[in-house]
Chain A
Amino acid sequence: MTIFLQYAISGLMVGAIYGLVAVGFVIIVKSSEVFNFAQGELLILGAFVCWALIFQLKLPPWLAVAGTLAFAGLFGMVVERFPLRPMIGQPLFAIIMVTLAVGICLRGFLTAIWGGMSWRVFKPPLLPPEPVRVGKLLLPQQHIYGFFIAVVVVLVLSLFFKYTRAGLAMRIVAEDHKVAQAMGISVRRVFRNSWAMSAILAAIGGILLGSINGINIPLANIGIKAIPAALIGGLQSIPGAVVGGLLIGLLEGLSSGYIGHGVQDVVAYIVMIVVLIFWPHGFFGLETIERV
């Protein structure tokens, strides 16, 4: 039982970070229906930039993190402005392919700058590394911090959507572009904000995962797990994305513990297939309201 809990809890803690990145993915889907296949690369971009600010430019960690988040937000806006805004009104498939191309280019540039397969490690780490003992369980402190940071960020976001004017504008655009325009809301500004937010969330995920495991280019594949997490949650739902992330994390933890290391990389996709077969709209998919 202790071993089970150990696997499950550490899985859930990583899962919260997946959920955070998946929320970013969902924000873009909701506002513009675009699938951002560059989410994984945005994640490693954040991780690398933060690492470089701390260990190459020798900035204090708090400043480096703040700088990384600001950079990520700007970068998201730039991606929205250049390859994507001119594509508004074009077929969705073409837009999605553009995001894929952005991701591949980004991966190439990052490889060129910070090196291919070699690991970049946060040393000293951003979060305290020593594990703590809770009852019989041994929990890495980094995971605990990561979990709470992810939870707090998601909570702040949901408050933002519920209680601020900018959040309301984003939800209105998510409902209907034409109505939003008739109400005088700038749909473009909402697109820009959602890309900025999504890139910031990816960067937070990247910094957390990077400081726990170290950074290399294939870390981007973890960012892409945001897509199954979002799909499991129903693609339109922010709580759904969190649940999807947690579920994937949980099953990864269990499967790598009981079945063997290596399985965890495919578990997300197996879960996604199974869930979509039985719940094609995901767990929290929005249904269009039809009154009878």
Chain B
Amino acid sequence: MLNINNIEVLYFNVIQVLRGVSLEVRESQVVTILGGNGAGKTTTLKAVSGLLRTEEGQVSHGDIEFDGVKIHRKSPEEISRMGIIQILEGRLVLEHLTTEENLLGGGLIRKDRAGVKRDLEMVYGYFPRLKSLRRNTSGYLSGGEQQMLVIGRALMSSPKIMLLDEPSMGLSPLLVKEIFGILGTINQEKRLPLLIVEQNVKQALTLADYGYVMENGRIVLDGPVEQLRENEDIKEFYLGLSAIGERKSYREVKHYKRRKRWIG
């Protein structure tokens, strides 16, 4: 349903960040984009949601299609009204508003008020902790609660696809597990496709159906997660496992860098 066709992205008309990225998200699929810092993962998400424009960036080449409609020239408002909702990196709650006001804010783009009410209960169902905090100022919630809140807020707008930017950032492993578990439930129950950018490769590969690896603004590797999990390079560079599959002892590693197979 979402097709990114060979896009290039320029910031300030000179800085090229993406150099020909293509990817696809199918109906009710979870797709993950992996890669190091500065690889262009976030830029890819912003190209889809249109937020690129607010940062003086633009898609200079290629196109992005959603359900057959080209969206790479549309404004962020139009794109979110089509049902593409991006959850920005860093748990950006509206800190002086209460939990419930944050959630209702997510429903502002909808016309059906009855649906908003129903979805509020649905979000409280997925995240019971938010219900007990509904009148609290969201700036004072814990990190995990804030991450739940921004996911809930995105759900309130009744999205057709959700783009998540590093939902695991700065959270304890236990919370990351909990949040990824809930994301999996949401994906299954609502048949909601997710496009997740992650640095936590292990969690991402557990949840996703399909994965892409980015480096230097290009996609260097892609495949179903079962394949990616078995890939030597992924194991070596992202999961920290040696070829045999055991945890690697870095003490014994000689200080030369193994050349990645995909760097040409």
The verdict on A186 contacting chain B, using a C-beta distance below 8 Å, is yes
Query: How far apart are the CA atoms of A267 and B245 in the complex, in Å?
Result: 77
Residues of A within 8 A of B94 (CB): 171-172, 175-176, 179
The verdict on A66 contacting chain B, using a C-beta distance below 8 Å, is no
Residues of A within 8 A of B109 (CB): 183-185
Residues of B within 8 A of A185 (CB): 77, 105, 108-109
Q: Which of A168, A176, A182 contacts B51 (CB 8 A)?
A: A182
Q: Which of A168, A175, A176, A286 contacts B108 (CB 8 A)?
A: A168
The verdict on A289 contacting chain B, using a C-beta distance below 8 Å, is yes
Query: Mostly helix, strand, loop or mixed at chain B's interface?
Result: helix
Query: How far apart are the CA atoms of A176 and B81 in the complex, in Å?
Result: 19
Which residue, of A165, A177, A183, A289, has the highest number of chain B Cβ atoms within 10 A? A183
Q: Is B140 within 8 A of A169, CB to CB?
A: no
Query: Mostly helix, strand, loop or mixed at chain A's interface?
Result: helix
Shortest Cβ gap from A185 to chain B (Å): 6
Q: Is B105 within 8 A of A183, CB to CB?
A: yes
Q: Is B105 within 8 A of A168, CB to CB?
A: yes
The verdict on A158 contacting chain B, using a C-beta distance below 8 Å, is no
Q: Is B108 within 8 A of A289, CB to CB?
A: no
Query: How far apart are the CA atoms of A289 and B142 in the complex, in Å?
Result: 12
B-side interface residues, number (CB < 8 Å): 28
Q: Which of A175, A182, A286, A288 contacts B76 (CB 8 A)?
A: A182
Interface size, A (range)? 20 to 34
Query: How far apart are the CA atoms of A185 and B106 in the complex, in Å?
Result: 9
Q: Which of A168, A175, A182 contacts B104 (CB 8 A)?
A: A168
Residues of B within 8 A of A176 (CB): 92, 94
Shortest Cβ gap from B127 to chain A (Å): 18
Query: How far apart are the CA atoms of A175 and B93 in the complex, in Å?
Result: 9
By a beta-carbon cutoff of 8 Å, the part of chain B in contact with chain A is 49, 51, 54, 76-77, 80-81, 85-88, 92, 94-97, 101, 104-106, 108-109, 137, 139-140, 142, 153, 157
Closest 5 CB pairs of A and B: A289-B139, A184-B80, A184-B109, A175-B94, A181-B76
